[in-house]
Each structure stands twice: as structure tokens, then as C-alpha cells.
Amino acid sequence: MISTAVKELSSLDFRGKRVLLRCDLNVPLKGEGSDRVITDDGRIRASLPTINALLEGGASLVIAAHLGRPKGERKPELSLAPIAKRLSELLEKEVTFATDTIGSSADSAVASLTNGGIVLLENVRYEAAETSKDDSQRQAMAEKLASYADVYVGDGFGAVHRKHASVYEAALALPHAAGKLIGAEVDVLRRLTEFPERPYGVILGGAKVSDKIGVITNLLDKVNMLAIGGGMLFTFLAAQGKEIGTSLVEADSIPLVKDLLSRAEKLGVKVLLPTDIVVAPAFANESPSVVSADSIPSNQMGLDIGPESARAFAAAIKECKTVFWNGPMGVFEFSHFAAGTKVVAQALTEVSGLSVVGGGDSAAAVRALGFNDSQFGYISTGGGASLEYLEGKELPGLTALR
């Protein structure tokens, strides 16, 4: 059930209408120029249910999306051309690609749009106004985008935490509704924050503890278990006075971490920290060794949780009925330091209740390690947006869809 604060697709009639559809098609690519290939099309596939529903409802589509952070410049490596091609393949339907966002190519493509047709606009972030802090600049761009359509549908969950022209102002300029993806994301996040089935566990990883402090603070009195991995774990170890060698640490966050650990103890929240660490002398896929988390050599850096810790994390995860995971346990891109992430991912597939993979690097990791989306309860498309929701922050893109 979609949040009642957001308008559902069923609230609008799309037959014969042009719909400005904001998608999240921000997918990873490799290669150069015309040889670039998409390495993970998960976000494109996640947009298909809404696209198909609108087409079946008799609409024609003008799709707006971003790729990377071009910061108002036309950067060929961040063009949506490969995305247009892949979207056409998945839909088995021609997708017209406009080589600009609100210029002559977009004008021409939209003017030629027939009922049931699809136009994909070039990267909205090629326009400086899209991300401008000047309200009037964003408003002007939004009005131009709105002129291409009769109705707005927001379905780019990965961008709803941004007050950008195509996410916020464009939604307000037209009759609007939330797409199926945003509906599903909001539903899952409400289950995580409002009525989780217990025991409820949260596993957090990634590089920086500062990126996750807000989530930990807001969820600490809601969870039963909190497990910490990734680069952020070394700030936790440092807060306990342990030697962390040359591992990543955020010294400024140590006082906050100490407060969180103290608060967790008072609340009776079980905090799992690794007892062993996979280390190496440098940030490279070589020379791994396993050491105790109590005695990391001064000339070594931690790059993954150890096998003993991975087993402990997995056991705790399998006891839970609700699990949220955001952030890999180690440098999973390196084969020697991927085991911790893989063990945690496998444990999530065995949860009998709701298991949620929190977007971003976590989603990329599970796919890179050979898992299928269907093995998990839900894979979020928006890491940053999910985290801000779980922090209790207001998300502009959702506010605009009320």
C-alpha cells in the first residue's frame, strides 16, 4: 500500500495525455564514447512497471532522467544515449532520444510524439538550472519541461531527496502522481520505520561513519540488532581504544560513536562489531591476511570483515524477521576482500521475513557477486534517498507528490 500522503497513479486519467515521467536511470557504465556499455541495468528495469502501466493507460511519454554529476556541462561520457538504446531493447519498442533536455532537439521530438510513443530527454543535469540553488532558475526550467506534457509522474526514487527542477518544481507545475517504483519504495521504508516485524536488524557498511550517523541515531530505538562493517567499522574500533593500523578512520566522529555505543547499551540494542579483520599492507587486491580486531598491525589496513565475523553477522541476520542492509562489508570489488559482503548477502536471502538491500553500492555488490534481485525481499534503487528517509528527513520529491 502506497503512503496516503502521495498521490497514486490510479488518481489520474492518462488516456490521450502526454506524461512527463521522471525516472531514475542513473546506471553504471564502462568503456569510452560509443563503446560504453551498461554494467548493471537494475534501475532501468525498475522503471519498466510504471512505463508499461502508463502506456497501457493510453499515454505517450516524455522521460526525464539524469546520469552522474555533469554539473551543468555536456559531458559525452554522461550522455543518456546508451540508456535510450537499452530501454528500447527492454520495452521492445522504439525510444526516441532527444540530444538535449529543453532545446531544439527536445522541442522537435516532443512535437513529433504520437500517442503511445516515448521520448527520452538528454541528461537533465546537463542543464545548470536543474540543480541550481536559485529558485527562479529551477522554476524556469521546470516550466519548460512542464510545457512538454499534460501530467507529471514522479518515479525516480533515487533523486527524491534532491530539490531539483525535474523532481520538485516540475511536479508542482502539473497534475501529478507517484509511479509504481516510488510507491513500492515508500511502502517498504514505512515498514522499516513504522511497523517492522521483530527481531529487527540493521547492517551498515560503506566507507564513512559520518554518512550513516543520522540513520543510526534515528533507528537505534527501533532496532534489536545493529551490525557494523565496511570502512566505517574502524571508527567504531578506534572509539573503543583499539589499534586500527592504517585503516580508514574519521577522528571527528569518534565522540559521536562513543555516544551511540553508550545509548545502544542503555536501550538494550545488540551491537555487532567484527572480531577479526582481513588486512593488507596497501589498498590493492593482494597480500590478504586475517588478524584479530584487537590487534591490527600498525602497517596494515583493514579491507574486509574476517570469516569469524561474517559467520557471526550471518547468524544474527538469520534470526531476524526484518533486516535492512546498506553498505558493503569490505572492498568487494577486490576478490580477496569480497567474502564478508558475500556471506552477509547470502544470509539476507535466507531471512524468513522482510530483507531490504538499501540501494547504491549494496545493490551493485549483490549483483556483482552473482545474486539475483528475486532472492531478496526488496532491493531499493535509491541509497541516499533511502538513508535520508530512514533518518526522518523530509524528501522534496515526495513532498511535491502529495
Active site residues: 43, 208, 360, 384
Beta strand pairing status for 200-204 and 322-326?
parallel
**CA–CA separation, 307 vs 277, rounded Å?**
8
CA nearest neighbour of 212 among 95, 324, 117: 324
Compute, in degrees rounded to 10, the torsion defined by CA atoms 305, 311, 315, 321. Answer: 40
26 within 8 A of 363, measured Cβ to Cβ: no
Task: Give the three cell numbers for residue 380.
Answer: 531499493
